[in-house]
Structure 1
Amino acid sequence: MTTYLLSQWKNQPGGPQNPVPFMLSLGSATTSLREKELIVKTFDDWGVLTSTWFEVADYLSTIEKLSDDTSFTEHRRAALLSSKVAYCLGDYAGALQLVLGAEDLFSLSPRPAHPEYGQQDELYVNKIIEQAVDTYKLAMRDNTKIDQRLENLLNRIFNLNMESREYRQVVGLALDTRRLDQIERAVKASDDSTTLLSETVTKVLGSQLDRAFRSKVLDVLLRLFSELQEPDFVSINLKSTCKKSRW
């Protein structure tokens, strides 16, 4: 019955309107878990949420409660839905915190633009990635404990760029987030390690990185230069530059 009602409501002339009855059902003890799952799945759709989020926002705490309940099969989707609502409210820090509970259900690859609701998913995904990187950068800079779920999300971002062979982007992100392991990973995976190393040295020397971290980066680059099987004149000179610039 709930499936039929949701379908009729979603496809009514003018699109979905007045989501309050479904939101009340989410918080009701008389609503079955199966029905709650169907409601959460239906609302985790920009085609529904774009026109209803301002009313759904009044029930954000109800959705969050479901996301915290690991016995609820769709708790990760509830976390994703909560994140999208927080994003619509302009609470980007909250949206990030909530999406961490969605884990891999949060896709780093946005859905294509839709003729009715446009690039909502792309805007959302890009903002979450931006917020995640900024939050991680701040934590690394201040040497504060990082939520393992945030660490996992950053690793997924790195992996996506590695799979796309965007090695320069990986290096840039690694410098921003102080991930020496990812710099090394990108250089070793590159078909032209010497060029990437050279560009990275130039970028580091021209950056505003603090002295201690810059020294660590140059140590890594120096070691990578030393590991080149056939170092050429340029790499030898850059290796020398790394040594001199460490201090």
Structure 2
Amino acid sequence: MQQTLSNTQPSARPFIAQINENIPELQIHGLKQLNKMIDYAWHEIDINSILNKIEELAEDPKFPERTLAASVASKVYYHLEQYEISLKLALESREKFDLNERSQYVETLINQCIEKYKKMKQAAFEANRKKKLLGENAQAEEEVEKIDEKMEIVIDKMFQRCFNDKQYKQAIGVALEARRLDKVKEAIELSGEHMEDNLGYTFQMAQVTLKSNDFRTEVMKLLLMIYQNRSDSGKFDYYKIAKCQFHLQYPDETAQLLEKLVQEPESESYLDAYQIAFDIHDKENQSFLKQLSESLEAKVKSHQEEDNKVVVERLNQIIVILSGEIRDRLYLQFLKKNNHTDVHIIQNIKKAVGNKSSVLISATVWSNAMMNAYTTNDTFLVDNLPWVGNLTNWNRFSATAQMGIIHAGNKNDAMKILGPYFTGSLAPEQPNSPYMTAGAYFAYGLIHQNQNSAEVTKYFLDGYRNSGQNESVQHGVSLGLGLVSMATKDQEIFDELKQVLYNNADSAIIGEAAAYGMGLVMIGANDQESMHEMLKHIEDQNHEKIIRALSMALALQ
């Protein structure tokens, strides 16, 4: 009669004894019975003798039920909470590891398998990326662990399980982390009527969770390919298509998209094109905007030759939107109309500060600039010029530059507002100062920030030639030029700022501003040549301010 552990649960000892026999039939019978009762009888299996015997059977190529032995050993190790060994043996058990079984054992090992697989795939992806960067003959820093074929089979089965259960987002999330573009594509294409939702989900995941820029680029290429190959064009999310094209730096393709939208005669899709243009101007860099505008201008000429007036008008409107003129006008109108700052607050601060402390006067002027940013309301500064005139040197530079904060975006009136500061004709009691002129150049850059044009660039370059080698003026010109050329990656402007830095190696005032300007021009460029030049200059530089500015410039890249 069998011994029992309780009234309902039989002991596993008879079946454990069968495993110690050298007769395969008995061993197989014992393993089958143990497999049925393993969840409550696992503690009866001696680790040093019986468990080792089961593992030996799992490794013995002559034993007919190797997979069963591996499955039993895996479950024992699972209950011992040695999950890595348990997973290894579960993979050895092949079909005995049933992914469709809804048990804690299976779910735990699946999670273990997925996490290990993701780490291995990410390591392999990074190793391949480094190999491409360093060349085929480059020595690998560390050996990348090879992924077991049995693990690949389990992961593929897990993906199939997600597809069968219509858990497409779960599959996409795992596939993205495991660098499996093939499964991302399969999950999106299988989602049927939910395809648009899953495309948006994948785009969001790529933007927010992926740390690898290289893999994010691969995902964007995949999404763009899926969008372009879809037959149900009426359901296109054109906004996400444009975002993918920007990430991939495809301005010509974006121009084609906008052209397609404005050409549809009986729909309002041209309004989508206008909104996309506004979004691009608000979120994308100047380099992309410039190339996109040039591509659209070429299309305008082509349509003019075909006498397609409606398309020409709409494309021209998009070019105007991309220039920022409409946005700036609307922003200024809105902020000016809704400016509810209390002038009495700043007047009371002025009374409390008095005329003696230059630091407090400067802080008050800064407060006024923050209160009235983008509103064009410079009444306080204009009405209190004698009081502001108590400022000297760099405080005067800051006070003048704050006109750029108040009038940011007011490009049409920029010279009218700042002209007196450039010419020194501000007021009879306000003699001209190089710090005021420098501040005016900085303010001019703030007004035109991130909206470069040939005319504005020429004005700043002329500023260098008209500075008379004055350090403070060149400081203001460099900062202003960097602001208007932000993220343009314009090599000519970068070289101009670099020459200013090199030609004034002994001037920390000029060198610091030129270095910041170089960084602003190359924001996000990751340009190896310019980074190497800046690093070399840091090594040769003694001025702490210039070293700090060049370090910031490198960080901006």
Please state whether the residue corresponding to 1:17 is helix, strand or coil: coil
Q: Which stretch shifts more, 94-103 or 233-242?
A: 233-242
Separation in 2, partners of 1:216, 1:100? 31
Separation in 1, partners of 2:8, 2:240? 64
Query: Which amino acid in structure 2 is aligned with residue 135 of structure 1?
Result: K
Separation in 1, partners of 2:204, 2:120? 26
Q: Which stretch shifts more, 69-78 or 126-135?
A: 69-78
What's the TM-score, normalizing by structure 2? 0.39
Cα deviation for residue 51 of structure 1 reads 3.0
Cα deviation for residue 18 of structure 1 reads 5.8
What's the TM-score, normalizing by structure 1? 0.84
Q: Which residue of 2 aligns with 1:225?
A: 227
Q: Structure 1 residue 159 and structure 2 residue 141: aligned?
A: no
Cα deviation for residue 133 of structure 1 reads 0.2
Contact 2:5–2:11, Cα closer than 8 Å, also in 1: no
Q: Structure 1 residue 129 and structure 2 residue 110: aligned?
A: yes
What percent of counterpart residues are identical?
Answer: 26
Separation in 1, partners of 2:109, 2:227? 35
Structure ranking higher on relative contact order (CA contacts 8 Å, 6+ apart): 1
Q: Which residue of 2 aligns with 1:16?
A: 10
Please state whether the residue corresponding to 2:10 is helix, strand or coil: coil
Q: Structure 1 residue 75 and structure 2 residue 56: aligned?
A: no
Q: Which residue of 1 aligns with 2:29?
A: 38
Query: Which amino acid in structure 2 is aligned with residue 124 of structure 1?
Result: Y
- Report matched runs for 1:61-100 at 5 Å: 61-100=52-91
Separation in 2, partners of 1:27, 1:18? 13
Separation in 2, partners of 1:200, 1:14? 51
Cα deviation for residue 238 of structure 1 reads 1.0
- Report matched runs for 1:97-112 at 5 Å: 97-110=88-101
Q: Which stretch shifts more, 70-79 or 139-148?
A: 70-79
Cα deviation for residue 71 of structure 1 reads 2.6
Q: Give the alignment partner of residue 53 of structure 1, picking from 39, 42, 46.
A: 42
Separation in 2, partners of 1:106, 1:132? 12
Please state whether the residue corresponding to 1:221 is helix, strand or coil: helix
Q: Which residue of 2 aligns with 1:176?
A: 177
Contact 1:222–1:242, Cα closer than 8 Å, also in 2: yes
Q: Which stretch shifts more, 83-92 or 203-212?
A: 203-212
Cα deviation for residue 27 of structure 1 reads 3.0
Structure showing greater Rg: 2
Q: Which residue of 2 aligns with 1:114?
A: none
Structure 1: state its 5+ residue gaps.
Answer: 112-121
Q: Give the alignment partner of residue 120 of structure 2, picking from 123, 139, 145.
A: 139
Cα deviation for residue 9 of structure 1 reads 5.3
Cα deviation for residue 207 of structure 1 reads 1.3
- Count of residues in correspondence between the two structures: 226
- CA change 1:10–1:49 in 2 (3 A) is farther
Contact 2:35–2:72, Cα closer than 8 Å, also in 1: yes
Structure 2: state its 5+ residue gaps.
Answer: 125-143, 250-557
- CA change 1:201–1:13 in 2 (3 A) is same
Contact 1:53–1:88, Cα closer than 8 Å, also in 2: yes
- CA change 1:82–1:190 in 2 (3 A) is same
The superposition leaves residues 87-115 of structure 1 with CA deviations (integer Å, 9 ceiling, x where unpaired) of 0111001100000111121111235xxxx
